[in-house]
């Protein structure tokens, strides 16, 4: 069992009086790909923002690399963030900079490397995601899949210890999807990263995840290795993993029964 890079203990978080996390505990192993899954609105992206210190929990703590994220001052938090990469759902590329400058951006902001060295590093990162030929394009000229690959190259620019992926597969064609799956797996192995993968895409996510955590109603419903999740007897997990229309999460939204509604309408 490898050491734990991220520990979350008794995490409580609410937004606009809506409880999103109600005592969540989880451990994320260093060097692993951990998939965090769950229905829409269950707080998966919020969890990444809590880990990155962009949101503050109501209660509980998030410990990353031995540091309590929400007890750090601004300078310490920024130092920690330099070791975290994050790939946003939209890519979040700076739209007024071209691909090259987007990837060079964190290097220029945080290092004193010479322009020639930065150029070499950026081109190597782009080569790693298969886009060295696109270094002069503007973000508006990229497809969704290309934008996410550029964002991945940017997230890798400072050689972080971990990367958080927020819905990386959403809206991708099968080829882009395959490329992204391969890139996430390869970069994790080649660079010894710790990856947290938030996604709805069960098949693709399960194919590369070492550990899986499924959230629902503000709690961890089930966690374990991929094999353990596949063997799980939980009806909820079965419904989620196999995408069954009805089950513990009902097909029908709770409310008055249809016959009562029809009777009322007839009256």
Partner 1 sequence: MKTLSRILTRLGRGTIFLARTLAAIPQLFVRFGLVTKQLHSVGVHTLIIIIVAGLFVGMVLALQLHYTLTTFGAEDTLGLLVDLALVRELGPVVAALLFAGRAGSALTAEIGLMKATEQLSGLEMMAVDPIERIIAPRFFAGFLALPLLAAIFSAVGILGGYMVGVDLLGVDAGAFWSQIQDKVDFYDDVLNGIIKSIVFGFIVSWIAVFEGYDCVPTSEGVARATTRTVVNSSLAVLGMDFVLTAIMFN
With CB under 8 A as the rule, give the number of residues binding partner 1.
23
Secondary structure (3-state) at 213: strand
Residue 173 CB, nearest approach to partner 1 (Å): 21
For residue 160, what are its two tokens?
Answer: 């972080």
**Tokens at 86, concatenated:** 């994050």
**Secondary structure E strands in the chain:** 4-15, 18-29, 33-37, 59-64, 67-68, 84-87, 162-166, 194-198, 211-216, 219-225
**Residue from 232, 157, 170 nearest 197 by CA:** 170
Does 56 contact partner 1 by CB under 8 A?
no
The least distance separating partner 1 from the CB of residue 90, rounded to whole angstroms, comes to 5
Contact pattern from residue 33 through residue 52 relative to partner 1, giving x for each residue in contact according to CB under 8 A and a dash for the rest? ----------------x--x
Residue 90 in the binding site for partner 1 (CB under 8 A): yes
Between 9 and 49, name the residue whose CB sits nearer to partner 1. 49
21 touches partner 1 by CB under 8 A = no
Binding mask 142-171 for partner 1 (x = CB under 8 A): ------------x---x-------------
**Residue 137 structure tokens:** 């394009």
Residue 19 or 110: the one with the smaller Cβ distance to partner 1 is 110
CA 7 – CA 173 distance, rounded (Å): 34
Which residue, 105 or 236, has its beta carbon nearer to partner 1?
Answer: 105
Closer to partner 1 by Cβ: residue 81 or 135: 81
Beta strands 162-166 and 84-87 are parallel
């Amino acid at each position: 069992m490898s050491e734990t890079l991220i520990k979350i203990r008794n995490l409580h978080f609410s937004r606009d009086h809506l409880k999103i996390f109600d005592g969540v505990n989880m451990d994320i192993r260093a060097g692993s790909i951990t998939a965090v899954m769950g229905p829409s609105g269950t707080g998966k992206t919020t969890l990444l923002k809590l880990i990155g210190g962009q949101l503050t929990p109501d209660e509980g703590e998030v410990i990353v690399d031995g540091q309590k994220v929400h007890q750090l001052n601004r300078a310490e938090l920024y130092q920690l963030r330099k070791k975290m990469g994050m790939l946003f759902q939209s890519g979040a590329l700076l739209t007024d900079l071209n691909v090259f400058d987007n990837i060079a951006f964190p290097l220029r902001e945080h290092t004193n490397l010479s322009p020639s060295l930065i150029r070499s590093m950026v081109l190597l990162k782009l080569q790693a995601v298969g886009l060295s030929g696109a270094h002069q394009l503007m973000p508006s000229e990229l497809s969704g899949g290309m934008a996410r690959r550029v964002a991945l190259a940017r997230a890798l620019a400072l050689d972080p210890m971990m990367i958080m992926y927020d819905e990386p597969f959403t809206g991708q064609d099968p080829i882009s999807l395959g490329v992204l799956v391969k890139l996430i797996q390869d970069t994790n192995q080649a660079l010894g990263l710790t990856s947290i993968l938030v996604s709805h895409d069960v098949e693709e996510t399960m194919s590369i995840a070492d550990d899986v955590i499924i959230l629902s109603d503000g709690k961890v419903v089930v966690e374990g290795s991929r094999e353990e999740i596949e063997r799980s007897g939980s009806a909820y997990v079965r419904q989620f993993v196999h995408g069954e229309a009805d089950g513990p999460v009902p097909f029908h939204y709770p409310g008055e029964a249809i016959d009562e509604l029809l009777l009322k309408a007839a009256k």
